[in-house]
Structure 1
Amino acid sequence: MNAMYSSVFDFLLTAAPADSVSADFAADWARHRARSRDFASSLDRAAIAGFDSAGTGPAFLGGYQEALHALVPSLDPAELAAMCATEGAGARPSTMATVVNEAGVVDGTKSFATLGTFADRFLVIARSGTQPDGRAILRAVLVPAGASAAVTPLPALPFAPEIPHATVTFDAAPGELLPGDGYTDFLKPFRTIEDLHVVAAVLGQLVRVARLAQWPAEPVEQLLALFAAVRGVGAEDPGSPGVHIALGGVFDRLTALRTELDPLWTPVDPGVRERWERDAPLLGVAGKVRAARLATAWRTVA
């Protein structure tokens, strides 16, 4: 913990916000690491990344990176990473065509990799064989960026255009096989871990807005209370049905809180307000997947 602050809550309430608005994501990440190095929790660091972001796009990228480093602690903290799972037919194990052999050599194309154009290392989910029942065996592989990984930038999305996406094609790309199952130990938990870290970052960004615009104390308390809930959920097993149910409640509360905060945006800097309104759809990305996961979790505990 930073000696200047008793908790991350004190940091969010008293620190001067920085600005992560450049397209130099490596420089932004280095500044963020220096700024948050004394906070042990990746969720706390994600909130700080959001607090130091002038828009939802940079906040998302900070949360996304913290989530990947939480999922794979062996990643070099200085490196930018990109999850490579989605292919032309989606990210379902049954349709995944990218393959990896026993030596960790990867072949195939991933159609949508967030931050792919700036990644130092790719976390690739690839097929390594087939089980007797016909189901795919998946592995997770860390592949360094380089000549064996051809990166093609994709057009910017209409919301959060600061977030770069790319197609990545691996041609006999050497990588490091990670222990465990690529789906149950990496891809599936990452969906929950990413959700938690991105919400933490968005809440950190909203605390920034609240402080700069001098919002009343009560909405700031609500933002910090919801962040406390995120920290509590994040301390549990991301595969737990109860975690998915609690996370559903977090998203519901975030949706309601955004509506409650609408009247307070009037005095906010117009550029900040316009970016927030433009980027609001980002919070609904993967909503159908979350809804299906939540329904499955309720069936599990029924």
Structure 2
Amino acid sequence: MLIQQLQEQLKQACFEDFDAFSNAVLQHDKQDSLQTVLACGLRCSNLSQAFALAYRCALQALVPALKQDQWASMCVTEREGNHPKQIKTQLNKQGCVSGEKSFVTMAGLSEQLLVICKQGEQGGQPILKAVLVNADQPGVTVTLMPAMNMLSEIPHGVLSLEDAQGEVLNGDGHSDYSRVFRVLEDTHILLAASCLILNQAYRFKLSGVMQRALGLVSFLLSLKLQPCNWLSVQLAAGFDQFSELCEMFEPFLGQCGAEFEARWYKDKKIFSLASGARQARTDKALAELLNR
């Protein structure tokens, strides 16, 4: 079944630009988020598209009630950082949110904002909640940042909130949302990037690369998205396989075109930037599993 599905999807043309990509992603049923990444990831033209796809689908897996035809953003990071004790954005008793998020991915495009905010303290520890905020309302201001030197098609910005009304979601804002999201995001990004390589290997008849990419895609599709700790450990093995896949693929980048090659090396830096935090999540997950 998977092979037949892959054969059909690999025959489709890659997205011509970000608008065509965006329309396809937002129109796709994201109830099975990994299948959406597979279907759209095999048509991505670059890592910017693959990352945006993975980011949106990871959010759908985290909050299934999100409107599927709209972009969404996870809003955690503030000027002091993203640790629970560094979150200053406040949620009042009326369900209104005030504060500032200093780095929001897909800013300006997202109509749904998942904001992690503080609702007091208990025992010296912050009580964090996740609040779903509609971007198109009074009290919500997005200021776009200059484009980054990687993933240049993905906008980022600063989010300012002043008594913005939102829907308070059940659960803890950190353990049930921001922490889980990072693992889901890693899973979906790894799959999307592997699909991008698989597409290029198919187009340019790189049989060895295609075989290795197909194996990694199959492994990632077999993962269960919960519980978080087991998934973190499995992902560590997946990223090791992805590194090996990149080493096999990169000598052939010249066949994929000068533009693709240049963008690949520029955008691939995102994996190195996130490696430290990813390793910390893996170490913590292993410690919790072994000290059960």
CA offset digits 1:64-117 (Å, max 9, x no partner): 101111100011111110110000111111010001123220000000000011
Match of 1:247 in 2: 235
Match of 2:6 in 1: 12
Cα distance between partner residues in 2 of 1:196 and 1:236: 8
> Contact 1:141–1:177 (CA<8 Å) still a contact in 2?
yes
SS at match of 1:295: helix
SS at match of 2:269: helix
Structure 1 unaligned spans of 5+: 1-5
Match of 1:22 in 2: 17
> Contact 2:31–2:64 (CA<8 Å) still a contact in 1?
no
From 134, 148, 151, the equivalent of 2:124 is 134
Match of 1:192 in 2: 183
Farther off after superposition, 15-24 or 73-82: 15-24
Mapped pair 1:31 → 2:15: no
Cα distance between partner residues in 1 of 2:173 and 2:13: 37
Match of 1:3 in 2: none
How far residue 23 of structure 1 moved from its aligned partner, in angstroms, is: 4.6
Cα distance between partner residues in 2 of 1:281 and 1:66: 21
Match of 1:55 in 2: 46
Structure 2 unaligned spans of 5+: none
TM-score of the pair, normalised by structure 2: 0.93
Mapped pair 1:100 → 2:91: yes
CA offset digits 1:175-198 (Å, max 9, x no partner): 111111111111110000000011
Alignment of 1:120-131 (within 5 A): 120-131=111-122
> Contact 1:160–1:279 (CA<8 Å) still a contact in 2?
yes
CA offset digits 1:198-228 (Å, max 9, x no partner): 1111111111111221211x32121121112
Cα distance between partner residues in 2 of 1:152 and 1:258: 35
Mapped pair 1:145 → 2:135: yes
Alignment of 1:285-296 (within 5 A): 285-296=273-284
TM-score of the pair, normalised by structure 1: 0.90
From 124, 141, 162, the equivalent of 1:171 is 162
Cα distance between partner residues in 1 of 2:94 and 2:31: 34
Mapped pair 1:282 → 2:270: yes
Cα distance between partner residues in 2 of 1:236 and 1:143: 25
Cα distance between partner residues in 1 of 2:174 and 2:13: 37
Mapped pair 1:267 → 2:249: no
From 58, 68, 72, the equivalent of 1:67 is 58
How far residue 32 of structure 1 moved from its aligned partner, in angstroms, is: 2.7
> Contact 1:47–1:202 (CA<8 Å) still a contact in 2?
no
Change (3 A) 1:40 1:94: closer
Give the root-mean-square deviation of aligned CA atoms. 1.8
> Contact 1:192–1:238 (CA<8 Å) still a contact in 2?
no
> Contact 1:153–1:167 (CA<8 Å) still a contact in 2?
yes
How far residue 300 of structure 1 moved from its aligned partner, in angstroms, is: 2.8
- Opposite residue 221 of structure 2, the aligned amino acid is R
Q: Share of identical aligned residues, percent?
A: 30
CA offset digits 1:220-276 (Å, max 9, x no partner): 12112111221223x142422x32221111111111211122222232222112211
CA offset digits 1:145-164 (Å, max 9, x no partner): 12321000011111111111
Change (3 A) 1:90 1:255: same
> Contact 2:21–2:49 (CA<8 Å) still a contact in 1?
no
Cα distance between partner residues in 2 of 1:102 and 1:18: 50
> Contact 2:197–2:249 (CA<8 Å) still a contact in 1?
no
Post-superposition, which runs of at least 4 consecutive aligned residues in structure 1 deviate over 6 A? none
- Opposite residue 225 of structure 1, the aligned amino acid is G
How far residue 40 of structure 1 moved from its aligned partner, in angstroms, is: 5.3
- Opposite residue 7 of structure 2, the aligned amino acid is L
SS at match of 2:255: coil
Change (3 A) 1:177 1:40: closer
Cα distance between partner residues in 1 of 2:107 and 2:72: 8
SS at match of 1:298: helix
